Amino acid sequence: MTASTLTRDPAAPAAHRPGRRVRRRRENLAGYVFLSPWLLGLLGITAVPMLISLYLSFTDYSPLISLSDASWVGFDNYRRMFTADQSYWHAVTVTITFALVAVPLKLAAALGVALLLNRTMRGISVFRGLFYLPSLLGGSVALAIVWVSMFNREGAFNSFLALFGIEGLPWVNDPDWALYTLILLAVWQFGAPMVIFLAGLKQVPVELYEAASVDGASAWRKFAHITLPMLSPVIFFNLVLETINGFQGFTSAFVLSNGTGGPVDSTLMYTLNLYIKGFVELDMGYASAMAWVFLLVIGAITVLLFSTGRFWVHYSDNEER
């Protein structure tokens, strides 16, 4: 702040500087006052609870006892997680499977539809709206319930298959398939990344395509050599966001399995397992430890994605000119 004062008004007499500072301070103060609802929220709802949960992760705290009665257990919770708890590793496997399959499919679907919708045509905004609709419903409980009834043995999907003489499986009640119905639900809600892709596509200069056309480039080459590189920052953004989202999937798994992660733990997502440990088995210390490991792992994955970014993400302002 002082620096900016100096640079803006180097000729000002020294005696005047404090007066400016006072004004600045006043402004700052007003700023903080206006920020205070948000700051309080950040502290009260996010930062402080997070620190408390960090502390709890080293205790045997249960919601039924008071905080002060929780006893310190050191790294026991973490040790148990990594060495003794089979369900923990099972849930990790389920979650990674979910993210590895759902995220690329969702991004591909979003990009595919965005390409289709990126043209001028009568009523295109209606189509855009329709394709975005599923994600407006978000991670809603109602949607998951609809999904369950669509994909059980007597569901609409099997009736559809029956038209072709195929006898369907009880998808949501089959341990080999239940997770894939959840993946399908996640992929179907591709609206948010699609809209971002669409915005990204609008930014690609038309001249590039025109120049490529003059050179006789095929549609595929235009896509591979113009669209994808120009879109790479947007792809990267969506990839990071959807990966984080993918790891945090909870609602649909909870609804499909009645909160158990069944059938036979096939939909036991990490967050669902965490919920069961904390709120059903009342082992909140352990659940806190799980939450912190989760945070660190998602953080690490995000860092990893960022470090790969420099090999494939092209920011036009760095490269051009």
Residues that bind other proteins (CB under 8 A): 18-19, 21-22, 25, 29, 32-33, 36-37, 40, 44, 62-66, 152-153, 170, 173-175, 258-260, 262-265, 279-282, 284
C-alpha 201: how far from its chain's center? 22
Compute the least distance from the CB of residue 26 to other proteins, in Å. 8
Compute the least distance from the CB of residue 30 to other proteins, in Å. 10
The closest of 80, 69, 139 to 288, measured between CA atoms, is 80
Q: How far apart are CA 135 and CA 109, in angstroms?
A: 13
Compute the least distance from the CB of residue 320 to other proteins, in Å. 48
Residue 155 or 193: the one with the smaller Cβ distance to other proteins is: 155
Compute the least distance from the CB of residue 74 to other proteins, in Å. 19
The closest of 276, 244, 239 to 257, measured between CA atoms, is 276
Q: At what angle do helices 124-136 and 86-117 cross, to 10 degrees?
A: 170
Which tokens belong to 313?
């993400």
Compute the least distance from the CB of residue 281 to other proteins, in Å. 6
Compute the least distance from the CB of residue 145 to other proteins, in Å. 13
Largest CA distance in the chain: 91
The closest of 68, 76, 37, 39 to 52, measured between CA atoms, is 68
By the 8 A CB rule, do 190 and 114 touch? no
Residue 62 or 302: the one with the smaller Cβ distance to other proteins is: 62
Residue 111 or 255: the one with the smaller Cβ distance to other proteins is: 255
Q: How far apart are CA 265 and CA 282, in angstroms?
A: 19
Residue 243 or 251: the one with the smaller Cβ distance to other proteins is: 251
Which residues have CB under 8 Å from 266's CB, separation 6+?
94, 175, 176, 178, 179
Residue 9 or 176: the one with the smaller Cβ distance to other proteins is: 176
Residue 40 or 136: the one with the smaller Cβ distance to other proteins is: 40
